[in-house]
Amino acid sequence: MIIMKKYTLKQLAEFLSAEFKGDPDCIITGIGSLESSVPGQISFLNDAKYKKHLDTTKATVVILKPEHCDLYNGNIIIYNDPYLAYAKISLLYDDRPAALSGIHPSAIIDQNCSIDNTVSIGPYCVIGKRVKIGRGSQVHTGCVIGDDVQIGENALLYPKVILYHKVKLGNNVAIHSGSVIGADGFGNANEKGVWRKIYQLGSVIIGNDVEIGANTTIDRGAIEDTIIEDGVKLDNQIQIGHNVHIGTHTAIAGCTGIAGSTKIGRHCMIGGGVGINGHIEIADGVIISGKSAVGKSLTKPGIYASSIPAMPYQTWGRVLVKLVQLVEKKKA
Amino acid sequence: MIIMKKYTLKQLAEFLSAEFKGDPDCIITGIGSLESSVPGQISFLNDAKYKKHLDTTKATVVILKPEHCDLYNGNIIIYNDPYLAYAKISLLYDDRPAALSGIHPSAIIDQNCSIDNTVSIGPYCVIGKRVKIGRGSQVHTGCVIGDDVQIGENALLYPKVILYHKVKLGNNVAIHSGSVIGADGFGNANEKGVWRKIYQLGSVIIGNDVEIGANTTIDRGAIEDTIIEDGVKLDNQIQIGHNVHIGTHTAIAGCTGIAGSTKIGRHCMIGGGVGINGHIEIADGVIISGKSAVGKSLTKPGIYASSIPAMPYQTWGRVLVKLVQLVEKKKA
Amino acid sequence: MIIMKKYTLKQLAEFLSAEFKGDPDCIITGIGSLESSVPGQISFLNDAKYKKHLDTTKATVVILKPEHCDLYNGNIIIYNDPYLAYAKISLLYDDRPAALSGIHPSAIIDQNCSIDNTVSIGPYCVIGKRVKIGRGSQVHTGCVIGDDVQIGENALLYPKVILYHKVKLGNNVAIHSGSVIGADGFGNANEKGVWRKIYQLGSVIIGNDVEIGANTTIDRGAIEDTIIEDGVKLDNQIQIGHNVHIGTHTAIAGCTGIAGSTKIGRHCMIGGGVGINGHIEIADGVIISGKSAVGKSLTKPGIYASSIPAMPYQTWGRVLVKLVQLVEKKKA
């Protein structure tokens, strides 16, 4: 990985509005972990249990909490939350390709769209009728934008994102490749054993500052809309059912599925591989451990879990036998 | 959401072959829930536990079971299964974009295809050799159809659906964006620690009236075909392994995975996030609760479950300790 | 399924370097299971429990272990591992469409790429800056290859594969449709309740002989790279978090998710629907049963499990009651 960007210690400290110790003019060209960093890189210590790595790190600068500054003699940036400082600095060293520029001639755009003249649209995109796209937004290769979609400012749609008709995105929304927003919710009514489709008349409304990973799906609402509020962060391969409502600044890890009409609160943290039942409510501030199943509403903030850590196969087999015996004894 | 479609109460009742009470000429322009509907909308009461909303609903018409008609003084459609009535009426208010028309000049279609002249094919589709597509089918933007694929009548392939070679679809099949039908099954034989690929010689056969959600994958068979029978409904992000056979009118919710060579019966209902082992059989009429794991054949109809509802983290920690103690005691 | 390829028994035995009994000139045009095969097909018996099918099989040739040869009077290929022999022969009967040829005029390729003149690139592909692609590689319809990507020899990218910038593939890598390699890892730091993005500066490095199924996602590293070593086989709908490291010849079944920075050993076999926590290590030779959750490092080879097989709903309900009682008793 070749990173060509260079900042001095003084520049980085100013960027963070932080104090520093050491050579203000030393050059930092990238970020490394304490263990792996090479000269020229900046690193950070967030958790005291890794402090031994301070003795051997080759990083040119280390970001430290005030209480850890005595542990290290080299160049230091002092910051209460070094992990957050790292997050902020990561922007400076981001090496993703430069923004697209302009509209590629192979993009097919309906005449009645309202697309800001700062928007860039990549090759082989297809943009439907009456689509609005706000200033600074980038729509990369092969995205398909349905009729009446509205996209705010500074959107970043990676290649092959699909937005079905009428989906609305706020400002600063990023969606990674392969994600599908606004496909039909899973609605069927049974008539004498045969499923009759319930046409999905709602849409998907996504707020500001939302990031969505790759191959995630968010279904359109059955009657009303599916809603993702401001600041929500969704990882890859997540499934959001129709009419789900996710509150502001909630983060959800990969492979989690949320069934229809469930309301997730604000500032929740939901682990990977979780399954959440439909038609329930999760309170603000709930944390759900990975691979848990949530069957009923969780009405109080706190940490919840139900996954069993894998154990040796034979031990687990004996546990399963005991589990069933618990019930059999009851019957006896 | 602007819905321009208008029907009178009398028209809707006739569409349902149902009786009604009230003003036959009142206009209904959309569907709402009892709680959220506004004047001009039709709503329904399926479950008596929500009957209190009849007192406050602003819906212009409500669909009610015969036994609930006394509870409401406004305009009524009388129907034994109001949820089914809603499903049927939802078609009338469906506002998805009008069908494509014709074949977009950017679509690349091999010369030896047999494509009905009523078929529409969107921009940037690529259609392989000897493909057959039946009347009324729509293939939206960017679909890729492999050699020797057969698609029946009235198919609806949303943008970016991929059908590998030799896949066959019946009539009235809908597949949402990002789904991949006919990729290789996961077959490998181990030779001294190294995996040797088993080439997947079968295909995928999908019956009539099947709907498949977004980003779902159905693998081609190893020797024989993977088979999805008529009327099956699959949600998003489902994984169907090679040589799976799913019986008619079975419905499967999102994020469920079915390993290879398993046979699922007819009229089953399988929840979301379920994992089903390979080489087993699930009887007709089985219902499997969300997030369950199915290791062995289920030979009788009924409801099955194995997921544990999430509980407070510390409580769950104590349960886990107890679980392991069950086994340790046995050994002692 | 029409298979036009024909081999004699003698040819197949020579291909396998195996001995045979019977008519050396009999013609085999395809592969079937013992139960389903028709005359002209070759079959195999791997597990003695299916030996009864030898009495009725219509296969023209059967591959048998030496110790089973006495059980069958027909044409035989003798091989210690019939399943492996089947895997090897499956290549001969593979009927997927012939390789693409050349570069389709609609492919958009940046001028500074280094693409071997034996490479084929399908319609509507978009290839970024400074991309290198080695001899014999095939890039099918609609793939998107980011800047600075390196692809080795004999790659097979099925339609709509997406490689973000700087991803590197070794030789003989196959990736099925819809998979996304190199999207951003899920990294966010919390600042007073608001998530701040951690830009993902690493990439994804994939070794030789790796096969990746459909709609699988492998995220780019946060600081260093995500690494998939030689010979790894990944099924569909798998999620690999940032900075995961997977050792050689490990196989992972569908719908499994691995959280960030976890290191998986060599020659592991991980079932479908498994969830593996972040920042842990799985030893070489570990086998994890489907639908298990792995919370902590597994330091020894062996088989691990934690999934509960679905049981009748009411039985399971009683088990859940008992589980919670275990803890309540403790408190009492």
ipTM for the whole complex: 0.96
Higher pLDDT, B327 or A207: A207
Instruction: Quickly state the pLDDT bin for A328 (edges 50, 70, 90).
Output: confident
A161-304 folds as UDP N-Acetylglucosamine Acyltransferase; domain 1 (2.160.10)
Rounded distance between C-alpha atoms, residue B184 and residue A127, angstroms: 32
Average pLDDT, chain B: 95
Instruction: Quickly state the pLDDT bin for A307 (edges 50, 70, 90).
Output: very high
Contact A213 C217 (CB under 8 A): yes
CB under 8 Å, gap of 24 or more: what pairs does A318-324 form? A318/B327, A318/B330, A319/B323, A319/B324, A319/B326, A319/B327, A320/C308, A320/C309, A322/B323, A322/B326, A322/B327, A322/B330, A323/B323, A323/B326, A323/C308, A323/C319, A323/C322, A323/C323, A324/C311, A324/C315, A324/C319
Contact B76, B20 (CB under 8 A): yes
Option in A239, A289, A319 nearest B313 (CB): A289
Chains touching C (at least 3 CB pairs under 8 A) are: A, B
User: What's the confidence (pLDDT) of residue A100?
Assistant: 77
Q: Which residues pair with A218 in a beta bridge?
A: A181, A240
| C23 interface with A at CB cutoff 8 Å | no
Cβ-based burial of A12 (10 A; exposed 0-12, middle 13-18, buried ≥19): buried
DSSP A43-95: EE--SGGGGGGGGT---SEEEE-GGGGGG--SEEEE-S-HHHHHHHHHHHH--
User: What's the confidence (pLDDT) of residue B2?
Assistant: 47
Contact C222, C205 (CB under 8 A): no
Indicate the pairing of strand B30-31 with strand B41-44: parallel
Q: Residue C100: name the closest of C158, C160, C145, C174 by CA.
A: C158
- Decide yes or no: CATH 3.40.1390.10 for domain A7-93: yes
Residues of B in contact with A215 (CB under 8 A): 178, 215, 237
Contact A315 B308 (CB under 8 A): no
| pLDDT tens track for B158-205 | 999 999 999 999 999 999 999 999 999 999 999 999 999 999 999 999
Q: Which of residues 220-279 of A touch C (CB under 8 A)?
A: 231, 233, 235-237, 249, 251, 253-255, 267, 272-273
Residues of A in contact with C129 (CB under 8 A): 97
Contact C255, C276 (CB under 8 A): no
User: What's the confidence (pLDDT) of residue C58?
Assistant: 97
Query: Does the fold of domain A161-304 match that of domain A7-93?
Result: no
Give the 3-state secondary structure of residue C252: strand
Whether the CA torsion C45, C47, C48, C51 is positive or negative: it is negative
Q: Which residues pair with C257 in a beta bridge?
A: C239, C275
Contact B199 C290 (CB under 8 A): no
Q: Which residues of A are catalytic?
A: 242
pLDDT at residue B289 above 60? yes
Give how far C177 is from chain B: nearest CA, Å.
7
Q: Collect all residues with Cβ–Cβ distance below 8 Å to B308 and sequence separation of at least 6.
A: A293, A306, A308, C308, C320, C323
Contact A226, A246 (CB under 8 A): no
| A–B CB contacts, 8 A cutoff, strictly below | 211
User: What's the confidence (pLDDT) of residue C6?
Assistant: 93
Residues of B in contact with A222 (CB under 8 A): 90
Q: What kind of architecture, by CATH, is found in domain C7-90?
A: 3-Layer(aba) Sandwich (3.40)
| pLDDT tens track for A98-119 | 777 899 999 999 989 999 999 9
Average pLDDT, chain A: 95
Q: Residue A108: closest CA among chain B residues belongs to which residue?
A: B123
| A96 interface with C at CB cutoff 8 Å | yes
Contact B184 C177 (CB under 8 A): no
Option in B91, B320, B326 nearest A308 (CB): B320
Q: Which helix (H) or strand (E) holds A115?
A: strand A114-115
Chains touching B (at least 3 CB pairs under 8 A) are: A, C
Counts for chain A of helices (H) and strands (E), in that order: 3, 39
Give how far B258 is from chain A: nearest CA, Å.
16
* Best residue of C157, C163, C190 to probe chain A, by most A CBs closer than 10 Å: C190
Diameter over CA atoms, chain C: 79
CA trace torsion B118, B123, B124, B128 (10° rounding): 0
Contact A275, A289 (CB under 8 A): no
Contact A189 B84 (CB under 8 A): yes
Instruction: Quickly state the pLDDT bin for C3 (edges 50, 70, 90).
Output: very low
For chain B, state the CA radius of gyration.
Answer: 25
Instruction: Quickly state the pLDDT bin for C111 (edges 50, 70, 90).
Output: confident
Which one-letter amino acid corresponds to residue B169? Answer: L
Q: Which of residues 295-314 of B touch C (CB under 8 A)?
A: 295-296, 298, 302-306, 308-309, 311
User: What's the confidence (pLDDT) of residue B4?
Assistant: 65
Chains touching A (at least 3 CB pairs under 8 A) are: B, C
Give how far A318 is from chain C: nearest CA, Å.
11
Rounded distance between C-alpha atoms, residue B292 and residue B305, angstroms: 5
Contact A272, A289 (CB under 8 A): no
Q: Residue A147: closest CA among chain B residues belongs to which residue?
A: B97
Instruction: Quickly state the pLDDT bin for C7 (edges 50, 70, 90).
Output: very high
Q: Per this entry, what is the length of chain B? A: 332
Indicate the pairing of strand B245-246 with strand A132-133: unpaired
| pLDDT tens track for A1-13 | 444 689 999 999 9
Instruction: Quickly state the pLDDT bin for A97 (edges 50, 70, 90).
Output: confident
Indicate the pairing of strand C27-28 with strand C7-8: antiparallel
Residues of B in contact with C291 (CB under 8 A): 275, 293
How confident is the model over C245-273, as a mean pLDDT?
Answer: 98
Instruction: Quickly state the pLDDT bin for C152 (edges 50, 70, 90).
Output: very high
Option in C198, C203, C257 nearest A272 (CB): C257
Give how far C135 is from chain A: nearest CA, Å.
24
Share of chain B above pLDDT 70, in %: 98
| B159 interface with A at CB cutoff 8 Å | yes
Rounded distance between C-alpha atoms, residue A74 and residue A90, angstroms: 21
Contact C293, C275 (CB under 8 A): yes
* Best residue of B156, B215, B228 to probe chain A, by most A CBs closer than 10 Å: B215
Catalytic residue among C104, C242, C267, C279: C242
Option in B97, B176, B313 nearest A146 (CB): B97
How confident is the model over A125-130, as a mean pLDDT?
Answer: 97
Contact B94 A296 (CB under 8 A): no
| pLDDT tens track for C39-90 | 999 999 999 999 999 999 999 999 999 999 999 999 999 999 999 999 999 9
Q: Collect all residues with Cβ–Cβ distance below 8 Å to B73 and sequence separation of at least 6.
A: none
Give how far A154 is from chain C: nearest CA, Å.
15
Option in B183, B198, B217 nearest C90 (CB): B198
Q: Which of residues 118-137 of A touch C (CB under 8 A)?
A: 122-124
| A194 interface with B at CB cutoff 8 Å | yes
Contact C311 A290 (CB under 8 A): no
Instruction: Quickly state the pLDDT bin for B80 (edges 50, 70, 90).
Output: very high
Contact B201 C31 (CB under 8 A): yes
User: What's the confidence (pLDDT) of residue A4?
Assistant: 65
Which one-letter amino acid corresponds to residue B164? Answer: Y
* Domain regions of chain A by residue span: 7-93, 161-304
Rounded distance between C-alpha atoms, residue A225 and residue C165, angstroms: 35
For chain A, state the CA radius of gyration.
Answer: 25
Q: Which residues pair with A128 in a beta bridge?
A: none
